[in-house]
Amino acid sequence: MNIEEILKGMVDAGRVPHAIMFSEPDGGPAFGLAVGFLKYLYGEAGGRVAKLIHPDVHFIFPTTSPQTSSSLAPQFRELALANPSFTEAELNSALGIEGKSSLIAVAEAKEVLSSLSLSALEGGWRSVVIYLPEKMNQETANRLLKSIEEPSEKTLFILITHAPEKVLRTIWSRCQHFQLGDALRAPDFDSPELLDTLMDALSSRDLFAALEAGEKISALPSRENAKAFCKFAADAMRNLFIAQQGLDLPATSSGKASEWAPRFKKTFPRAAAACFDRAARLVDRNVNTKIVFTDLVNRLSSLC
C-alpha cells in the first residue's frame, strides 16, 4: 500500500491524526501529496483546496521580517500551483527574498492561533500546512506546540521538513511520520572513513583521537572538499536521529547510523548537525580550516 492509499484510508476510517510530518529531499513530492490528501479530506470543497484558496486551510512558510505568509500568499500560490515540487530556492525567488535569511517568526504563530481560535468558516476541518518547520524559531515552536499537542476537534497540522533532526523534538514526537523519496540520500563525498574515525573517537570520549581526526579533515585538498565533508556529516546526523527513533533507513543513507545509535545521547544528532552546518559556513567564509575543525571537534566533544 502506498502513502496516498494510507492517507485516504485514514480519512475513510475516520482516524485522521492531529499532526502529520512528511520528511523529503528539497524539491520532493510532499507538498503535492499534502494538498491531495486535504482535497480528499475536504470532500465536496476539495476543488478550492486544490486551488489553495479554501478559507480553512492555512499555509505557513519561511519569510523575512516584517512579511508573513498571509501577506505573501499570492506569490506562494502562483508558485505552488505551477510546480508543487518546488525547491526552497524557488520559493525564495518567488517571494523575492533570494540570498536573505528566512524563518518562521512568532508573528506567524500568533496569526495561526488567532485563526484556529475561531470556528471553521465552513463547519468542517481546519488545517495548517507548515513548510520547513525546522525554520521556526524557539518562540514560534513553543507557541504552536500546545495546539499541536492538544488540537481542537477537526484540526489538522501537516508539516513538511527537509531536516527532521532540526525540528523541535517535542513537536517531532507529536506527529505521525512519513518518509518520502530519497530524503536520506548520501551527499557526494569520497572519504566517509574520516567521519567514521571522528565518530568512533567521540563515542569513546577520546579527545586526542578526535582532534587527530579533525586534523585529517582540515587537511582535505580544497575548501569544496571540506564543505562536502560537512554536508555529508550533517546528513549522517539526520540519519542518526532517524535511527534513534527506531525508523527504517534506506540503503543509500550516509554514515553508520544504526551502529552509532546506541552509542550517542538522543540529544546529540540535532546539536551535532548544527555544529557541522556552522563549520560549513565558516569554511565558506574562508576561515582557516584547521581552526574550524579544531573548534568543531571541541564542540562535538562537549555534546557527548
> Does any domain span residue 185?
no
Mean pLDDT for the stretch of residues 30-59: 93
pLDDT tens digits, 196-223: 999 999 999 999 999 999 999 999 999 8
| Cα angle value 62/135/141 (rounded, 5°) | 110
> Does any domain span residue 184?
no
Q: Are 291 and 150 in the same domain?
A: no
Q: Are 140 and 229 in the same domain?
A: no
Q: Are 8 and 57 in the same domain?
A: yes
pLDDT in the model for residue 182: 55
**For residue 144, is it left (φ>0), alpha (ψ between -120 and 50) or beta?**
alpha
Q: Is the dihedral of CA 31, 76, 134, 297 positive or negative?
A: positive
Q: Are 9 and 62 in the same domain?
A: yes
Band (121; pLDDT cuts 50, 70, 90): confident
Last residue of a domain, one of 154, 179, 204: 179
> Which CATH number characterizes residue 137's domain?
3.40.50.300
Q: Is the dihedral of CA 257, 237, 289, 211 positive or negative?
A: negative
Count the domains in the chain: 2
pLDDT tens digits, 77-89: 999 999 999 999 9
- Nearest-10 crossing angle of helices 138-149, 106-116: 20
Q: Are 136 and 262 in the same domain?
A: no
- Give the integer Cα–Cα distance in Å for 141 and 171: 8
| Residue 292, CA distances (Å) to 69, 70, 214, 265, 288 in order | 36, 40, 9, 24, 6
> Does any domain span residue 106?
yes
Q: Are 7 and 97 in the same domain?
A: yes
Domain interval for residue 115: 3-179
